[in-house]
Amino acid sequence: MPKNIVSYDEVLINFKKLLKSNTLKYTKQRELILEIIYNNNGHFTPEDIYNLIKESYPDVKLGIATVYRTLTLLEDASIVSSISFGAQGKKYEFGLKDHHDHLVCLECGAIEEFIDEVIEKRQEDIAKQFNFKMTNHIMKITGTCSACQAKE
């Protein structure tokens, strides 16, 4: 399982700066969105995040629009990253994790993570062939997961 590569304190400092530079106030609600995505390994829709916060903090007043807006802000700052699964939407994960790639089911939105040394190496080789300085790559296999195939 990929691990977060920065401490929560560090991310929180950057998040507060980000809010400030967008003339947005720091609120506990906004921090909870970051906290949930930092502490839960996996990929979440805005609704998933909203529901997780509601479950853990039933007294907190939160609108789904705040979740959407905060995720967009965090994504623009590369603190979270998103994976789209067709017309159904997007799932978010913490963006500063060990590198990994994804298998994405376009039927149900299930996402599996994988890391393959051969694929990693080939990409480095290709970049080298083109005298290209690689800084990142995004590898996404889309299709139908085994559970959805079984339903067909």
Applying CB under 5 A, the residues found at the interface with Zn ion are 93, 105, 107-108, 110, 113, 145, 148
Of 81, 83, 104, 85, nearest in space to 94 by CA: 81
With contact defined as beta carbons under 8 Å apart, do 113 and 100 qualify? yes
Closest to Zn ion by CB, 15 or 44: 44
Minimum CB distance to Zn ion, residue 101 (Å): 8
Minimum CB distance to Zn ion, residue 55 (Å): 22
Minimum CB distance to Zn ion, residue 110 (Å): 5
Closest to Zn ion by CB, 69 or 97: 97
Minimum CB distance to Zn ion, residue 147 (Å): 5
Of 101, 96, 111, nearest in space to 42 by CA: 111
Closest to Zn ion by CB, 54 or 98: 98
With contact defined as beta carbons under 8 Å apart, do 99 and 119 qualify? no
Using only the alpha carbons of the chain, give its radius of gyration. Answer: 17
Closest to Zn ion by CB, 96 or 110: 110
Beta bridge partners of 93: 81
